[in-house]
Structure 1
Amino acid sequence: MPDSLTLDLYHAARGFEERLTRHLAKALKTEHDIALSPAQLGFLAALICGENTASDVARRMGISRQATQKQAASLVGLGYLVVSPDPIRRNQSRITFTDSGVQLMALCRAKLAEWDADLTAEAETLRRAAAIMTRALPE
C-alpha cells in the first residue's frame, strides 16, 4: 500500500483537534469551573459569529441536522446558546450565542492564545501549511 501525505495530514489534523478540545475542556474546568465536553467545545468552535442555522452547522461539521439540534439544545440548557425559529425560512432554526456564550468563547480564545506561544517558532511554517491544506481539496 502506498504512503499518503494526505492521509498523514488527515490523521494529524484530527488528532490535533481531539487533543485541543480535551485540553481546552480540562483547562476550562480547572481554571473556571466550567464543565463542557470536548464534543460541546467542537460544536461551539464550528459556529460563526452572528446567526447560524442547524443545516449550515451540520454541513460544516459533517453531522446530521438532528445531531446538530441535540448538541445545540444541550448548550441552550447551559445558557450559552439561543435557538429560535427563522422567520424567513420556516423550516430552519437560528442558533446564536448568548452573552454568556460570547464570554465563554472569549475565555477559549484567550486560552488558545496562551498556547500559541508554543507554536511561535514555527508560526510562519504552520500558516503556510494551513493555507496549503485549505487549497489542496477545493469544495
Structure 2
Amino acid sequence: LLVERLANTAANDLMNVITITLTVAIGSTMVADQFLTVKTLEIIVLGLIAFMCGTASGVIGARIINWYTGGKVNPLVGSAGIASVPIAARVSHVVGLQENPYNFLIMHAMGPNLAGVFGTAISGGIMLALLGVK
C-alpha cells in the first residue's frame, strides 16, 4: 500500500510540483522584451506546424500500411511517431482505451515514439552539418 501511494505521488503530484517549481524558477530569470520577440514567435509557430505535420503523417503512414496489410496496424500507433517521449505514446494509448477498453497500445506506441526521437536527432544533425553550424 505504501509503495503504491509513493509511486502514485511520484507519477502525479510530485511531478506537477517539480514542473511548476522549475517553470517559475526559469521564468523568473527571463526578461519579456528579450524573450518575446518576433523570432521567438516564428519558432513557436514553426514548431507547432512541425508537430501537427508529424502527427498527421504518422496517422497517414499507418493507414497506408493498413492498406497493404489488410488493417493489422492501429493508426494511433502512427500518431505516436513524434519526438515527444512518452507523451505521444500515452496520448495514443488513452485515445485507444476510450475507443476500446481492452486496447492496450502503450508498448506498441513507444516503438514509433522512440523512432521519432532517433529520426529527429539524425535529421537535426544532418541539417546542422549542411548549414555549417559548429
What is the TM-score with the length of structure 1 in the denominator?
0.34
Higher strand share: 1
What is the TM-score with the length of structure 2 in the denominator?
0.35
Higher Rg: 2
